Amino acid sequence: MSAKLVPLENDPTLILILSDINMPGRSGLEMLPKVRAERPNVPAIMIAAYGDEDTKRHAIAKEPLDC
């Protein structure tokens, strides 16, 4: 499912990234730097239904707006 979102990386109407960290195909942690490379000023919020402190640290290192 996340692979279908890849074209949004270049979408000029993108104003916010709201992404799950754990997705099939590509994680939000893999997606965020790729979107940021094209759209560095778009704020990002990463969410997870479950997680641990290590995952949280990796997510925060990607510099989302909130995690």
pLDDT in tens, 13-52: 888 888 888 878 778 888 888 888 888 888 888 887 776 7
Instruction: Delineate the domains of the chain, giving CATH numbers in brackets.
Output: 2-61 (3.40.50.2300)
Rounded (to 5) percent helix, strand, coil in the chain: 45, 15, 45
pTM: 0.64
